Structure 1
Amino acid sequence: MVVGRRHARSAGAFFVTARFLPYGRQWIDEADIAAVEQVLRGDWLTQGPSVGWFERAFAEKVGARHAIACANATAALHLCMLALNLEPDDAVVVPSVTFLATANAVRYVGAQVAFADVDPQSGLMRRQDAEDAIRRAEARGWRVRAVIPVHLAGQTADMAGLSALARERALSIVEDAAHAVGTHLTGPDGQKVAVGACDRSDLACFSFHPVKTMATGEGGMVTTNDDALARRIRVAVSHGMTRDPAEFSDTLAATAASGQPNPWYYEMGEIGLNYRMTDLQAALGLSQLSKLDAFVRARQTLVDAYDMALAPLAPVLRPAAKVPGVSAGWHLYVALIDFAALGLDRAAVMGRLRQDGVGSQVHYIPVHTQPYYRRLYGDLTLPGAQSWYHHCLSLPLYPAMSMTDHDRVVATLTRLIKG
């Protein structure tokens, strides 16, 4: 799958430049294409059986009781906020280093965002960061109801500390695991537990965007072990409709003369959304899920190679800190660069990389600095988030990368830093 290939002529010679390496991209093979083609040739492009098959396979893969597929990870987060019945003076703790969707989902239901700082070396929220955010929220008169740990780059936030805090304060935990498909934590008994098993949380949300560990085009998933939360989310994902006779309130309208439920009948007890996943996406997801372990291994191999090859570039460039006890399904490889010591700003570094066909990205601009949130809550000082933002740069990482591609990224960075 060669992309970005360009042809040029120089001194009468015809040559092909190296392909452009984006910071992330999907891996699609013939099995994936065949899976989608089978749906295209069938009867159900949406609202068919493939979504249920994908949900059951994903739940089994991560070890959760329930998995509910939806349109994307933003939808997954929104559905979770709805399921928690948040009210306007309720607050949810969200680390500032995340994508906009994590905080926005809280605002979609009218609740308040209590922004937390992060470890400047890993970008991850710690227990102390959440506690500080809770104190600030309570000083505003908010009632903190939940915490959303964000598993940045594929590594997990401090789930032991955060789950203990949640138990002490009767808080819900919703994992933003958009980056962590395929990540495992080592549990107290030494056994590996998949992110999504919800052993230390109420809910977990995943993304299947093309740059993530596995892809469905767009798409998301919520996992939980709570039957009531699963039911609320499953109803909300499709307009709030239910066809379950046990849940009908108007039994006269629902029932035929025979005593059986009318076959067309449904009820909407609560307003919902159209956040359904299509069968096309689910078919691709099932095929991708069968390769997830291989995708994770390929990413880990590249991360290990980066760590070794970039070590001589310290202290100007250092990899983001690794979290003990986490076997990451790496979504991103983040380098922390001292741009001042290098004598080049980040835009210049990204430009030089691009000239050599190497893509890069910044994950993320701290959400608390966005104009909307500054107008809403005023200025907030979160030094860990600001330090992370000022130094971070995501390098190419995806299963289709070859070691030759990896070596090109390293060589370009080495020329930039060593001269």
Structure 2
Amino acid sequence: MIPYGRQDINQADIDAVVEVLRSDFLTQGPAVPAFEKAVATYCGVQHAVAVNSATSALHIACLALGVGKGDIVWTTPITFVASANCALYCGATVDFVDIDPPTYNLSVERLAEKLGEAEKYGKLPKVVIPVHLCGQSCDMAGISALGQQYGFKIIEDASHAIGGRYNDEPIGNCRHSDITVFSFHPVKIITTGEGGMALTNNVELAKRMRLLRSHGITSDEADMHPRPPEELWNYQQIALGFNYRMTDIHAALGLSQMQRLDEFVAKRHAIAKRYNRMLSSLPILTPWQHAVSYSSYHLYVIRLQLNKINKTQRQIYEAIYAEGILVNLHYIPIYRQPYYEKTGFSAGYCPQAEQYYSEAISIPMYPGLTEAKQDHVLNVLRKVITS
């Protein structure tokens, strides 16, 4: 079996985790702040808040920006459901902006059109969540300019994109956003097993997210409410928070993986370059890359030119899968999910997203994918499409 994605764990990673297991701290020790510092330094951002998943990071990012009942959050339909669910957790409503056909990211042109219409009816979003699909950055300068014009906040869902760059600067520096979120799931660029992180240059947002990730509890006397001097108060719950903390075990793995981040991304680029060359003769579209973007290549999505192939997308997907190559689909438009359809969405809402969905297949992409395995993937793909 060849999966579409896979973690890369070496002895240094194992040793780092074992060191924590033998230490005095398994949960909230020195590894978590060390990991936060390493990621913040790499990205050139002031604050990093480690949590137990990117979903948790998205949730507390929305809360830190004041998202609540009556608010509207916009995102792309081509992403994992967490990019939209985070707003629902806060009591807000969600809407979707169609994608840019070449990059598959949220379209700045469609965003501008939708904002113009929403302004007429007093339905502007409080937050927009662009998603850097497959590791390629959205047009963040364009989105930021619209944010300044229309007054919305921006959360970059960069779950796919640590190690990538935009305008020759690291994704995650929050130059064009209020908060950026990373994922460290095993199939992502680096892993902590499960985990995520929220980055920001705003000290108050960072403080709020740190509070929310740990039950809303503080031990900072400056934030604690006055109590009688004879009473002992070494902590107080001052907000309704969550148990979203990352453990030292997970952080130690992430800190070790950070040492190979650039190496991982370089290997992904090498595989993508080889795929691009070897697939050029087939009736498929390989991933287009914007000149100002350096993708982390979390995913390698091909688009089937079905008008030139005598099979359906499903037939091709199932035939490849039957050969032991565990291809995937990233993603079904969120609003087509039964839960979202119950809220009033229906097919046809974002035409470009649905066209993409009907043609896309993610083929294997991870640093440990050998040339022999790449060749097997390519040979199976060639056989299935042309037979």
TM-score bracket relative to the smaller structure: over 0.9
Higher deviation after alignment, 116-125 or 154-163: 116-125
1:334 matched to which residue of 2?
A: 301
Instruction: State the one-letter code of the partner of 2:197.
Output: M
Aligned partner of 1:284 in structure 2 is: 253
- Structure 2 gaps of 5+ residues are none
Tell me the distance in 1 between the aligned counterparts of 2:7 and 2:375.
20
Bigger Rg, which one: 1
Quick one: distance in 2 between partners of 1:110 and 1:135? 24
Letter in 1 for 2:281: P
Q: Quick check: 1:307 aligned with 2:276?
A: yes
Q: What RMSD over aligned residues (CA atoms) do the two structures have, in Å?
A: 1.6
For residue 136 of structure 1, report the CA deviation from its aligned partner. 5.6
1:407 aligns to 2:383 (yes or no): no
Alignment of 1:1-400 (within 5 A): 20-135=1-116, 137-138=118-119, 141-186=122-167, 192-253=168-229, 265-313=234-282, 316-379=283-346, 381-400=349-368
- What is the rounded CA distance, in whole Å, between the counterparts of 2:322 and 2:125 in structure 1? 47
Q: Unaligned regions of 5+ residues in structure 1, if any?
A: 1-19, 187-191, 257-261
Q: Offset of 1:40 from its aligned partner?
A: 0.7
Moved more, 403-412 or 206-215: 403-412
Distance across 1 between alignment mates of 2:335 and 2:119: 18
Cα distance in 2, alignment partners of residues 339 and 142 from structure 1? 38
Q: Is the 8 A contact 1:242 1:266 kept in 2?
A: yes
Shift of 1:372: 2.0
Runs of 4+ in 1 over 4 A off after TM superposition: 135-141
Q: Deviations over 1:80-119 (max 9, x none)?
A: 0100112322111101111000000010001111211002
Q: How many residue pairs are counted as aligned between the two chains? A: 386
Report if the CA contact (8 A) 2:311-2:385 is conserved.
no
Contact 2:336/2:345 (CA < 8 Å) preserved in 1? no
SS at match of 2:91: coil
For 1:41, the aligned partner's letter is R
Q: TM-score, normalised by structure 1?
A: 0.89
Distance of 1:275 and 1:137 partners within structure 2? 34
**C-alpha deviation, 1:338, in angstroms:** 2.3
* TM-score, structure 2 as length reference: 0.96
Contact 1:81 1:105 in 2 (8 A): yes
Shift in Å, 1:143: 3.8
Q: Does the 8 Å contact 1:93/1:130 carry over to 2?
A: no
Q: Could you report, residue by residue, the CA deviation over 1:192-243 in whole angstroms, capped at 9, with x for unpaired residues? A: 2111100111100000000000011100000000001000001000000111
Asked if 2 retains the 8 angstrom alpha-carbon contact of 1:89 and 1:143, the reply is: no
Local SS of the residue matching 1:68: strand
Distance of 1:33 and 1:408 partners within structure 2? 30
Return the alpha-carbon distance in structure 1 between the equivalents of residues 338 and 119 of structure 2: 23
Shift in Å at residue 144 of structure 1?
A: 1.4
> Is the contact made by 1:114 and 1:134 (CA closer than 8 Å) also made in structure 2?
no
Cα deviation code 1:2-48 (max 9, x no counterpart): xxxxxxxxxxxxxxxxxx21000100011000000011111111011
**Distance in 1 separating the partners of 2:8 and 2:370:** 13
Cα offset for 1:142? 3.0
Q: Percent identity?
A: 40
Q: Distance in 1 between matches of 2:203 and 2:317?
A: 47
Shift of 1:141: 4.8
233-242 vs 403-412, greater mean Cα deviation: 403-412
1-structure distance, mates of 2:345, 2:377:
40
Question: SS state of the match for residue 303, structure 2?
Answer: strand
**d(CA) in 1 for partners of 2:286, 2:43:** 28
Q: Kindly indicate whether the alpha-carbon contact (under 8 Å) linking 1:310 and 1:410 is maintained by their aligned counterparts in 2.
A: yes
Task: Find the aligned partners of 1:140 and 1:268 in 2 and give their Cα distance.
Answer: 39
Distance 2:312 2:120 in 1: 38
Q: Distance in 1 between matches of 2:108 and 2:369?
A: 36
User: Comparing 279-288 with 409-418, which one deviates more in the overlay?
Assistant: 409-418
Residues 125-167 of structure 1: CA deviation (Å, up to 9, x unaligned)? 1212222343565566534111111000000111111011011
* Cα drift, residue 342 of structure 1: 1.3
Whole-angstrom CA distance in 1 between matches of 2:292 and 2:13: 33
Letter in 2 for 1:273: F
